[in-house]
Amino acid sequence: MTASQHNDYSDYPATPVKVKTGLANVTLLSRRGRGDTKLEWVAHPRDRYFSDVTGDPIVTDKQTLTIRDNRSGEEYEVEITDGSIRAADLGKIGKSDDDPGLSVYDPGFTNTASTRSAVTYIDGEKGILEYRGYPIEQLAESSTYLEVAYLLIHGELPTKEQHDQWVHEITFHTFVHENLKSQLQGFRYDAHPMGMLLSSVGALSTFYPEANKIKDPQVRHDQIVRMIAKMPTLGAWAFRHAQGKPYVYPDNDLSYTENFLSMLFRMSEPKYDPDPRLAKALEVLFILHADHEQNASTNAVRSVGSSQVDPYSAVTAGIAALYGPLHGGANEAVLKMLKRIKTKDNVPAFIEGVKNGEERLMGFGHRVYKNYDPRATIIKKACDDVFEVTGVNPLLEVAQELEKIALEDEYFVKRKLYPNVDFYSGLIYEALQFPPEMFTVLFAIPRTSGWLAQWLELVDDPEQKIARPKQIYTGARQLDFVPSSERWK
């Protein structure tokens, strides 16, 4: 077959370009001259998908991946959708009576998507974070936590009527049953606040047994409202318990974050009046921590939720995952690091210690972000507002010097180590007089709306099944059991 635009091509040597068509494997002979090309199709016995002219892959309109199994010589075409392939399609490769097919081995799910989600978008290379399509910078600047919670749960911003109804429902569901208060009072005086929060949220399912009717939209709505409303109460009471102070009941005249501050810090005054700058800073922190895609705790919520448990049990799983130091304890580790450095003059020596492996740089780098974490930029700005009220924390100077040097040092730049959300948040929490053991509670309270949005999406997703990952077995096989009466002779 020949396709030509001009007649004279004889002076130009033919170069094979191997491609695959839908009908046959062919070699495309290309003669180039005067900007024109003569094409000759010649049958070729083997599949090839790259250009011998440029060395580049042949690009087609087909959104597929062709895989050659060198064990058998078989080829498989797998559909690509949204930059991903289905693991089940890989499972078909090599499948036979003696071969179960291929599996994906991916510890930590570093490159495995378990769901399609419309809740949170992250572009780690560009440092972009969006909730339901709205940039985090705009939400932190102009929205409130409860409005953001509505956005995450419902997928769109509320009208004024929807917003007012949402806020009203949450405001008047902040009280918890007195029996749950009795449970909290039964903990040791030195019980960790996260352990208390985990236990009390799990116990909520016993107070609302209808919560397991997860296919009923009204039942789901009621539990979502209750949990978002009661989390600050339970978190504040865990804090008061650890300090040996009496519990403070919710004040429905205050906003969500103001009420939380009241339950935390109110003493004998008849009406607690929090500084609006501190309430705003906490509001911003709550918005920034509301959701962050498929992290460890969200994955735990989804995995447990896939068995169709009630949302209290699913969120309890998320709290348990967040309790781990690798997930929820990073800002406390940053604070300890800054206190160990002490002054900005010690930063250069610390940086050298990091580079030679003697020290660990906490609060830098992220599994997802290969750029500046957008939340860190916002929190850094919020520090100024908080310290205007509380006075400047001397560790802020250490943190700023550490950031400055690290961002200029080639060692950290080429490794794409930028400040993350935990780098400055611990300084704000300490300025607000929170002990380090409360930091993770302050993470869990706002993250509840994100967990519930993800749980709701899971329940409504017809593709979701009960989580049951595969394993690659590496243990012994076909051993003969010897009874203990013979083994112990």
User: For 408, what's the count of Cα atoms within 13 Å in the CB-facing half-sphere?
Assistant: 7
The single residue of 291, 310, 373, 422 carrying the catalytic annotation is: 422
Count of C-beta atoms within a 10 Å radius of residue 35? 7
Element (H, E) at 42: strand 36-43
Length of the chain: 489
Among 260, 234, 227, which Cα is nearest to 452's?
A: 227
Element (H, E) at 261: helix 256-265
327 is an active site residue: yes
For residues 136, 139, 140 and 141, what is the CA-based torsion angle, rounded to 10 degrees? 120
The single residue of 289, 310, 366, 373 carrying the catalytic annotation is: 366
Query: Which runs of consecutive H residues, i.e. helices, occur in 63-191?
Result: 87-90, 136-142, 145-154, 160-171, 178-185
The DSSP call for residue 82 is T
CA torsion sign for 254, 260, 265, 267 is positive
CA angle (324 as vertex; 338, 442 as ends), nearest 5: 65
d(CA 405, CA 415): 14
Residue-wise burial string across 167-201, b where 16 or more C-beta atoms lie within 10 A, e elsewhere: bebbbebbebeeebbeebeebeeebbbbbbbbbbb
The single residue of 327, 385, 409, 461 carrying the catalytic annotation is: 327
Are the C-beta atoms of residues 382 and 281 closer than 8 Å to each other? yes
d(CA 286, CA 140): 9
Catalytically active residues, by annotation = 327, 366, 422
